[in-house]
Structure 1
Amino acid sequence: MPEKRVLLGFSGGMDSFAAAVLLKEAGYEVVCVHLVLHEPDPDVTVEHVQTLTRRLELPLIVKDIRSRFREGIILPFVETYLSGKTPNPCVWCNEQIKLQVLADLTKEQSAQWIATGHYAKKAFDPVCKRWTITRGKDPSKDQSYFLAFVSQDHLKPLLLPLGDETKEDLRARMKAYDFPFTEQSESHDICFLKGMTFREFITGWTRAKPESKGVFIDKKGRVLGTHDGFYRYTVGQRRGIGIADKTPYYVTALFPERNQVQIGKLEDLYKSTFSVTNCHWHLPPGDETLTARCQIRYRHKAAPATLRIRNENRVEVTFTRPQRAITPGQVVAFYKGERLMGAGIIESVAS
């Protein structure tokens, strides 16, 4: 049945395994595609993936794209941190690496569909005649945020078999397939860190050693102490400041050009207004001003806000109530109900 041939991104974790099972049960001809992204010695992972696909009696394609991943994801991740912003590499990896590789293979493999194991759904808007992402059934695992920048070209053939499932139910069902549940079978926030902190990773990857000694300042510019490099900190961070006071200090802003880290108290983290650039719209905003629920990081509960559209690439967002640690460099996703309208990159935060 060539009209139901699908290329599935297959990491070897429980979610991609479950996606393969559900697609096969739905009558699709599933071809698993495992991407070697960053592992220095991928043989163990590939062997694990081969064992799983043999168990499912599904064909497997292994693509080594470590060089592409390094240039397209890891180096920009490091460069963004060194510019004083906090990137979200998983969002870019989904669109620029994983889905693009699957899409590139469709013609060669005579496939009509691509698929991933994300907990999200998609829907077609008959008015705009465009596809969009919607939140998955399981609110504790919803991953629509990570698909915020997926293009229409990739959305149209995309299947999301886990969108109507819950993690708990899937775990119970996959036991019947003797899936080997381990720590490695669960997805992690940033796969290539491999247990390292972002500070350790950046230090190891940077060709030139970042400038080290700098100062902590308060919001009035007064020096409160010294640090070993601004790139070791991100907005909202509490640990590693090392300055004693009656109440804890938190990082509130970074000034890389001066190697300064601004710190303040918990209440100083709460802000309302910020500017957004590099906007990507699934559904055109239409009006110059609109309301939406905005999610400023994966685990943030989307909150009501007003969006002022400056142009198709720029938006000013004002939350109804101040939100904690709005962080430049992070993705902000705009939701209307369950539907993902679009997203952008947080550029700066009003003081």
Structure 2
Amino acid sequence: LLKRIDADFSPDALLKQLSVAQKHMVEITRALSHDASVIIMDEPTAALSRNEIEDLYRIVDQLKSQGRAIVFISHKFDEIFQVADRFVCLRDGEKVGEGLIADVTEAELVSLMVGRPIDQVFPKRDIKLGDTVLKVQGLSNPTEFADISFELRRGEILGFYGLVGAGRSEAMQCLFGLTAPSAGTVMLEGHPIRIHAPADAIAAGISYVPEDRQQQGVVLPLGIRHNMTLASISQHVKNWFLSKSSELDTVRALGTRLDVRAAHWEQTLSELSGGNQQKVVIAKWLAAKPKVVILDEPTKGIDVGSKAAVHDFIGELAEEGLAVILVSSELPEIMGLSDRVIVMQEGRIAASFERGAWSAEKIVTAATGARKAA
């Protein structure tokens, strides 16, 4: 069976010794051992590298050539167009479209999944920006970034873009107190602040939604209520006791606003989808009532519908006067949401663009260092 899918490991190997891709192969051969005519693959590429994904595509093609039917569940459009012959689109538990892949465009699929035209995915905002809330000057770290300086105003969404290793996330982690700077000053509402640890940042009014939500953002075995109030627990202490009713008031308000889909507010995070986990992380940090919120890859690994909900919510936060820093590797997201864009390259700021003055070409050129950006 392993030979039939060109597996390159021994059938005597222990599962704990195998890579994620090889474990997928074991699952597939188990289905073949039952002579399955239909094989369902649910987000099979979620933890795979690009080479491993290509190997999986090859296996899918082999199975198709053997006459087996494949149900391939994915929210990644490149996978759908690479693998599928037909599509069925679900939204909120209902089928909203189906057809041949050859007869549909990516924009049409996005519209089906989100429930609105693609040109409305990033609604236009008309916000008068307020006073400067955050001023960072010369923030540096010995090995990862240097001389990071910027200002952030109330109601502004400031995008940070760059390639992997550009130092964007590292600079934001330093600003939140997860790592120590070697130089630089930070001022919040005109007053200098010293951030030695995340507790200092939270007390000052800075929140940080991390890129890796499962490792840094949530406690998977705990329920929604506990996770959502972790950063604001002191707000729910009454007469030296933690008030569950106070917690639930906050959780219901934010959970409803962010459209967290769950059976109940005590449901564990491990039982939720990636999109709903991310909504809980965002809600947790908003419950702390920050003045500045840093969103590091806020839509990474979540479905298109959840992305649209997060995009809408980010816009709403800015409209309410919150200052937002958006770190993203998705250029459409950066260009669609930001009022200004700072581009980092090799640990330094390479360019800064105001809305209306940027283009995809200018931003990517600055990020790659191909030539000096205009």
Tell me the TM-score range normalised by the shorter chain.
under 0.3
TM-score (norm: length of structure 1): 0.26
Higher helix share: 2
Larger Rg: 2
TM-score (norm: length of structure 2): 0.24
